[in-house]
Amino acid sequence: MSTAAPRQATASTSTGWSLGDITVRRVDEIELPRQTGPWLLPDATKEVLDEASWLRPDFADAEVPRLASHSFAVEAGGLRIVVDTGIGNAKPRANPAWNGLDTDFLQRLAAAGFPTESVDLVITTHLHTDHVGWNTRLAGEEWVPTFPNARYLTSRTEWDHWAATELDEARRQMFRDSVTPVRDAGQYDRVDVSEQGHEVAPGVFLVPAPGHTPGQVAVELRGSDRRALITGDSIHHPVQLSHPHVHSCVDIDSAQAVRTRARLLDTLADTDALLLGTHFPRPTGGTVRRESGRYRLLAEPAVEIPTTAA
């Protein structure tokens, strides 16, 4: 695990991507410490990075891949939707880089047009610590739902897996402060996600992406002009386009994770669909192209999008 303190990301909440009748914005939490890449993706060595020169300078430095923590704020069908909620503030965490954060994430979210009380849906791609942290905030000495008017969604398969798993103390702590309070407030819904996907809002589909966890989902946005896929942790980093067999050290089933990546990339390749990485550093997204028997990402930086009043 990394022992370095996190470096605060620069806020940029007025930019995003338009898919026609759906918009999506990246809302920064933190850039993850440099040591995160070698720990999380141990096979993403300098030699592997060298085989995909397009990764530098945006997605990797000379030696290691870069990673970040952020959420995606989606407007679709008149609804405000937050996809994954990052690490969160003031949470006691075993990973020193995540422990006791104090960021202005909620101010950035509000600046993007998503004050907490305006959010209708919170989608949890999977129940890992760095995807559920802002599910709750500290009110006095109690953890309460950050988004008081929202329904929180995750797949039933994901929920049932963790309910049946003997948890270590670090994961029990995460459930105590970031998942159980939402459940106890009656705001967490479990969704059955078929192979064809499950529509949770107009043009917003949960699609199965197992491997990293058994019930992980990706989020497909089917706009009137184009579509996009928010990866969750099915693709941690763009190096996994050129080398899909690079696995995460915390994948529960790495072989299945490879199959999921291959399937998702095959559906995106050589189309205008946008791939948006949940842990990709800026420029965050782009289109997938086949090149010399591999995939690569053609980066597509976010552009200015007018913020809709809450």
Question: Which CA distances in Å does 153 have to 33, 118, 242?
Answer: 29, 16, 32
Provide the 10 A C-beta neighbour count for residue 252.
Answer: 16
Reduced to 3 DSSP states, what percent helix, strand and coil does the chain have, rounded to the nearest 5? 25, 30, 50
Report, as an integer, the average pLDDT of 122-132: 98
Looking at every residue in the chain, the average pLDDT score rounds to 94
Quick one: pLDDT at residue 310? 66
| pLDDT tens digit sequence for 110-119 | 999 999 999 9
What tokens were used for 227? Answer: 């579509």
| pLDDT tens digit sequence for 231-287 | 999 999 999 999 999 999 999 999 999 999 999 999 999 999 999 999 999 999 999
Quick one: pLDDT at residue 308? 75
Confidence of residue 14 (pLDDT cuts 50, 70, 90): low
- Is residue 4 pLDDT above 60, yes or no? no
Distance between CA atoms of 129 and 174, rounded to whole angstroms? Answer: 6
HSE-up (13 A, CA, CB side) for residue 15: 12
What phi, psi does 215 have (nearest 5°)?
Answer: -115, 20
